[in-house]
Every structure is written in structure tokens, then in C-alpha cells.
Amino acid sequence: MIHLQRLWHGSLADSTDFPAIAKREQFDTSADMAARRHRRSAGADRWHTSQSRINRIGPCAALLLVLGFAAPVLARQDLPLSLPPSGVPGVGETELIADFWVKGAADRHTVLLAGDAIRVRNRQLLEQDPSMHALADMPAQLQAAQVRQWIEARSPRPAGALFDINGKPVSAVDLDAWMAALALDRIPASQATRFGLTLKRSALRSFPTARRVFSEAGETDIDRFQESALFPGTPVVIAHTSRDGKWLFVVSPRYAAWTLADAVAEGDRDVVLSYPERSPYRVITGDEVRTVNSREQPALSQLDLDMGVRIPLALDVAADQPVNGQTSYSSWVLELPLRGADGQLAFAPALLQKNRDSAVDYLPLTRANLIRQAFRFLGERYGWGHAYNGRDCSGFVSEVYQSMGLTLPRNTSDQAVSPVFPHQRFDAASSDDDRRRAVANLDVGDLVYIPGHVMMVIGQAHGRHYVIHDVSGISYRQPDGSRRRIKLNAVSVTPLEPLMFNDNERYIDRMTSIVRPWGILP
């Protein structure tokens, strides 16, 4: 997902052409697999080098060393790709099966980053990444300057044209009303820091309004006021209230924006911050998991629980007693937050069926699990900022990694440069050979970034590297030299190398970063 503020001043070139292609028809030959295993084992031990060495050898060469590049065996791209009726090159039914890629992955069950190391990485992310917010370190009093800074960073007055759902231009009167709704004049000079828990999957918005706006007349998918989403049990700092009192400006660990007031319950600081750390718990590992239907507790009935969400178990419920009108012996009894009539935090039990996808702890971070978790979303509709009960490209990769306990920043622009993850950066000075070598050394789980988009590598087939990504569309050159565009608007599998960013540049030409979230820093 692109940071919203960039979009007020013009969209990225051909941003709607971001691709999503397919999978492959047969396994690699044993020679191909052996070569790939050799490359991966050689690269894994040389993933990073010291910063002093990087400074001595220059940026481009340093980037190759950072990713552990030796002399790579470049993927063959002279092999023709099949073109199925879908128009997605190189993807047949076989390539749409997760196990096809799992079986082709070297060391597929090797733990790439253990639980203790993941917890250290998550702490480093909060401490070192400027896009993150360490709520436990918030001062007892919030000063007006800090609150104003948060709000003005998220809610600048849009400079470009906007259109409503009917294609009509958004008026200056509307813009004035939204700016007034921020109630900046009501920010107190100093206020006690308030904490709360998110009650349900709820939108994070640029402005305190549910009105959807678009950058072009006729566009109805990408709502430019949709920023992200919060999930049940997410702790937040409540920094401000909209003029009408219906919206709160909240600061979560990964994002700060406006959300509906009835989606948050205010509570004691220690109770709020300890909730995500309570044990025992269940981790949601499926793509669509909900609590059971409950007439007795409607606020917790059919509650959406997204992949990677961790919910503590209720410990004071007798096994032979009903919960919300039904037996609990075939379900997990979760303890979920509720909002009282006074807006204050309370808790109540809710049932999660044991046959739904959850685990006693985060999944091991292995290549096999990365592939399988990503494929759970295959075919889901693209949802900018987690709209349509879906997710966007950065939200997609975040949830895959979160199911293994590893937290990523929210947006592509922050993920691509986070100081806590090994990454290789590219710019105008990066040569074609630099880029080709980097692609040749991609491993399962690597994240490839182009402006405004991210893809996750799942393996090689047909002489190409394949990725899975949540994408609006792709384009590629046809044999006659023309450029074909395919609308996808879904989590899709595609080869990387053929994809075009615009008429003259490939995705590879526009790569800005390759990140290996499970890589080891020196």
C-alpha cells in the first residue's frame, strides 16, 4: 500500500498495472533443484556484511554483499511460457497448488528464524523503525504539539481532485467540512494518555468520515481515505476525538489514523498493554476465521479474526458449563474485549470452533509455512487498506509473516527500508547486472518491492522466479511486441521477470528493494 499523502500529488505511473500471474506445470529437474539448493545454502551464510565494509566498497557492490550474493546461476529465460485462457503467462492449474511450490523449495521445513529471535526482532522493530509506535513508552501526558503532529501527518488537506462514488467531484465545501471535523482547535495543551483495545475489525481512515472518495471519476475500488484496519484485541492510544464525537484518532503499534469510536473500548493502561501478552492463547492461522454465532452475546458473534491475530483463552469457564448458550467442549473459549455503555473496557467469553484454523502458538517460520500461509489467500479480492474484508499487497505479506509471529511495518514504503530487516536497495545507479544477480538469488519468502507494491517469492519454474501478491493487474510483452494488460484484482501467482511496470520498464527495472524478513543481521 502506498502512503496516502503521496497520492494527493499525483498517482504513480501505471499503478493499476501491478501484476499477478501464475504457477507452473512441472517440477524443476533434479539438476535445477541441486543448483538452487547450492545457491541458497551459499547465500544464506553470507546474507550480511559489516557496515564498515559496505562503506568501503560502494553502494552497488555493498548491496550485493548485503544479500550474500556470490556468482549466481541466472535463471533461464529462453524457455517459453504457456499462455492459458486466463491471460496469466506460465500459470496452469498445477501452479495454483501450494504443495507444488512447497515440494520444490529447498530445506522447506528448516526453521529460518526461531521464536526467541523473532521476539528480539519485533522489539527492535518497535525501538528502531520510525514508522512504529511503542505504546508502552508513551508518556503519562500527551502534549498538544505531538497530537497535532500525528493528525496533520495523516490528514493533510487533499491537493488533487477527488471524486465520490457516483463520479462527481468532491467540492471545496466537503473538504472544508472534513478539515473542520479534525477539531484541531479542541486539542488540549496537555492531556492524560488514554489507552484502549480494538473490539472488532475496523477501518483506519485519513479523515473522520466513512465517505468514500476516489482519484478518478468512475473508479470505485481504491478509496483514498481508506488507510488500513485494526483487528480485535489491538491496543491503541486514544489521542483525540472528532468534532462530532463519533471518531477517535488512535495510535496503534503499526499505524495512526481515525477509527469509529464504537470500535474501541477505553481501559486501564496495564490491562490494555498486557492483553496481547496473556497466556495461554490461540493464534489465528486461517484466512477466514470467525467466532461462533451467538444470540446471547451479539457483539462477539461471528467476529472476524484475521490471520496472525493472537487472542487469550478465558481461564475461568468450567468445561461442563455452556458459554453463550452452547457447550464449549468442542471449541476454544476466547476472552475478547467488549465496550460497556460508558465506553469502558470489559471482557467476555466467546467460542472459536476447534476445527477452525488456529494454533496453540505462532507457526514455525519455514519456507513451507510461508508458501502455505500465502496460498490460503489465493483468489481473495484485493482490498486497498484492508477494504472489502480483504487486504492489500503490504497487508497480505504482513499477515503471512504475522502468523509466524514476525511483525512487519504496515506500508510498502516502510517495509522496504526498515532498519531491522536485511535488505538490498536499488536506485537509478543500479545496473541491469546488479538487478539480474539480485533476482537470481531470490529465496522463498523474500519480499520484492517496486514503487507502491510488494510481492513475495515462492520459487522458480520455467526458468523464471514466481511470486504471490495481492495486485490489481499485470502487463507483459506479447510476441508481436505489444503490451497486454490483465486485470486481476486479487491475490495471484505470477512469474516476476516478464512483468512490465510501464511501456518501457520491467518490474525488475523498477525494483526499489529486496527484503529478507527472516535474514540475520550482523
> 425-447: per-residue pLDDT in tens?
999 999 999 999 999 999 999 99
pLDDT, tens digit (0-9, with 9 covering 90-100), for 315-357: 999 989 999 999 999 999 999 999 999 999 999 999 999 999 9
> What angle in degrees, to the nearest 10, is found between the helix axes of 59-66 and 432-440?
0
Residue 47: closest CA among 68, 64, 63 = 68
Mean pLDDT score of the chain, rounded to an integer? 87
pLDDT score of 520:
82
User: Percentage of residues in the chain with pLDDT exceeding 70?
Assistant: 84
Q: Is the pLDDT of residue 73 over 60?
A: no
Radius of gyration in angstroms for the set of CA atoms belonging to the chain, rounded to a whole number: 23
Contact 378, 493 (CB under 8 A): yes
Cell representation of residue 43: 547465500
Task: Give the pLDDT mean for 96-108.
Answer: 98
pLDDT of 521 reads: 67
Instruction: Please give the sequence-ordered ranges of beta strands (E in DSSP) within 190-291, or none if there are none.
Output: 190-192, 194-198, 202-205, 226-230, 235-241, 247-251, 256-260, 264-267, 281-284, 289-290
Looking at residue 47, its pLDDT comes to: 36
Closest C-alpha to 256, from 149, 160, 337: 149
189: left (phi over 0), alpha (psi -120 to 50) or beta: alpha
pLDDT for 78 equals: 52
SS percent in the chain: helix, strand, coil, step 5: 30, 25, 45
Strand order from edge to edge, sheet including 281-284: 310-312, 281-284, 358-359
Contact status, residue 67 vs residue 424, Cβ threshold 8 Å: yes
Q: Say what the pTM is.
A: 0.86
Instruction: Please determine, for residue 157, whether its predicted confidence score (pLDDT) is greater than 90.
Output: yes
Query: CA angle, 73 as apex, 480 and 80 as ends, to 5°?
Result: 25
